[in-house]
Amino acid sequence: MKATLPNQGRHRPQSTGAQIVETAQLFQAVEEVLVATPIIDIHTHLFSPSFGKLGLWGIDELLTYHYLEAEFFRSSPTTPEQYFALSKTQQADAIWRALFVENTPISESARGVVAVLKAFELPTDSLDLAEARAFFQTQSLEDHIQRVFGIAGISLVVMTNDPLDPEEAPAWLNGAREHPQFRAVLRLDKILRHWAAHWQVLAAQGYKVDAQASGKSAAAVQRFLFDWYERMHPMYMAVSLPDTFFYPAETLGNHLLAEAVLPSCRELDLPLSLMIGVRPQANAALRLAGDAVGRADLRLLENLCRTFPKNRFLVSVLSRENQHELCVYARKFSNLMPFGCWWFMNNPSIVEEITRERIEMLGTSFIPQHSDARVLEQVIYKWSNTRRTLAPILSNAYRLLAEDGRGVTRNDIQRDVTRLFRSNADSWMNLNGH
């Protein structure tokens, strides 16, 4: 006797609000819902206008993005020393010439710049940047932000804010104005990874800390975090961790993580974002472009999620080899939320693999993507690429479901896309539906 699959033979009551979408129409329905659903971008390096020059935008910043700098050095005889001695304009001209004129811009990051130029109806094959520069120079930032967010289909970006950054901290202390579409994050790398170089800044501000983070240092760090929580109202706390990071381990960073950061996150009801797998400065001559990737021992996640069950961990991993383990750990611990296809993962070939295995193992209980945008207009191509990559993946998941006995309505598709790109973040970060 042929096994019957669940629901086979029984007619599922029509879902309210819409009919079952025919299999042949699934791709179009998913595409339309993805385009129509404003996305919450949960990790960027963007800044709202009140941070002035910290907020990067325009063609010269787009071209001198560290992803493109790394590619430039492979297609030009210019050495990093020679390049970094140039002005920003000269650097952008050099990158445009090498990657967009002398070669075809088919890499993910180069194609992204082409997509931005096209979005503003600027020429995408000019020999120079005169017309593009003239366009961006005539934009007023607030209007430009609204236009960029509209094209990108995003409602909110979450920033990366470092209370120990000498340029950024004064902006907060001088009362940086909150912006409804830019929410803050309390970034902790200088505390958890570079304490030796930064503890004296806290001490100078009156926090009773010492070089060994001994005695009441952890309590003082907690007070520091509470004070900055009041200033920033962050969505979460965050740290980027090398591939060699492990927990537990007798390290100063782990001591502060367990005794200061995680208790503060519990007290303030904030997730902690762990971005794991950087091999810092594999080639320091490339500066921001010099970081590489390494596979981490993700048993650290098992240990953290089990040891701190009342903490919520937002996790992105940089090694392709770690992605599958991250999905398995997310199945074991509901206080673990995988997010994004980070950095070297944010390429369609890998985004497809990661997203398919996440859907297969986690359903819609994960956050598929973040942009990591450092330059405002990058959200345009990073989110159009995400929608382009996800539409076939999600519609294929629905096709398989239909073949196995259950159709979906447009309401089902809207509910799923909203969960993936909004309410998973909203519920974890108390965004209150922004």
| Residues engaged in binding ligand FIX (CB under 6 A) | 45, 160, 240, 275, 288, 343, 372, 374
Give CA–CA dist 124/147, Å, rounded. Answer: 19
Nearer of residues 41 and 416 to Zn ion, judged by Cβ: 41
Residue 211 interacts, among Zn ion, ligand FIX, none and using kind-specific CB cut-offs from 5 to 8 Å, with none
276 contact choice in ligand FIX, Zn ion, none (CB below 5 to 8 Å, kind-dependent): none
Bridge partners (DSSP) listed for residue 375: 56
Give the burial class of 330: count Cβ atoms within 10 A of its Cβ; 0-12 exposed, 13-18 middle, 19 or more buried.
buried
What is the nearest approach in angstroms of ligand FIX to the Cβ of residue 374? 5
Q: At its nearest, how many Å lie between Zn ion and the CB of residue 341?
A: 12
Longest dimension (CA), the chain: 78
Of ligand FIX, Zn ion, none, which one sits near residue 117, judging by CB under 5 to 8 A according to partner kind?
none
377 binds Zn ion (CB under 5 A): no
Residue closer to ligand FIX by CB (options 59, 275) is 275
Residue 201 Cβ vs ligand FIX, minimum distance, rounded to whole Å = 20
Beta bridge partners of 367: 339
Instruction: Name the residue nearer to Zn ion (CB basis): 155 or 371.
Output: 371
Min. distance of Cβ 371 from ligand FIX in angstroms? 9
In the complex with ligand FIX, the residue whose CB is nearer, 217 or 355, is 355
Q: Are 420 and 386 in contact (CB under 8 A)?
A: no
- The residues that bridge with 182 in the sheet, in sequence order, are 157, 179
**Shortest separation between residue 8's beta carbon and Zn ion, angstroms:** 46
Which residue's Cβ lies closest to ligand FIX? 240
Rounded CA-CA distance 234/231 in Å is: 9
Q: Minimum CB separation from Zn ion for residue 370, in Å?
A: 8
User: Per-residue x/- mask for Zn ion, residues 216 to 235, rule CB under 5 A?
Assistant: --------------------
Site stretch for Zn ion (CB under 5 A), options 5-13, 298-306, 349-357, 368-376: 368-376
Instruction: Report long-range pairs for 21-27 (Cβ below 8 Å, ≥24 apart).
Output: 21/398, 21/407, 21/408, 21/409, 21/410, 21/413, 23/399, 23/402, 23/403, 26/395, 26/398, 26/399, 26/402, 26/408, 27/391, 27/392, 27/395
- 30/376 with CB nearer ligand FIX: 376
**60 in contact with Zn ion (CB under 5 A):** no
291 forms part of the interface with Zn ion (CB under 5 A): no
Q: How many angstroms from the chain centroid is the CA of residue 18? A: 33
**Which of 36, 288 has the CB closer to ligand FIX?**
288
Q: Which stretch binds Zn ion (CB under 5 A): 206-214, 249-257, 315-323, 367-375?
A: 367-375
Binder of residue 325, out of ligand FIX, Zn ion, none (CB less than 5 to 8 A by kind): none
Using alpha carbons, select from 162, 156, 195 the residue that is nearest to residue 178. 156
Residue closer to ligand FIX by CB (options 55, 407) is 55
382 binding partner (options ligand FIX, Zn ion, none; Cβ < 5 to 8 Å by kind): none
- CA 175 – CA 158 distance, rounded (Å): 18
Residue 372 interacts with Zn ion (CB under 5 A)? Answer: yes
Residue ranges binding Zn ion (CB under 5 A): 372
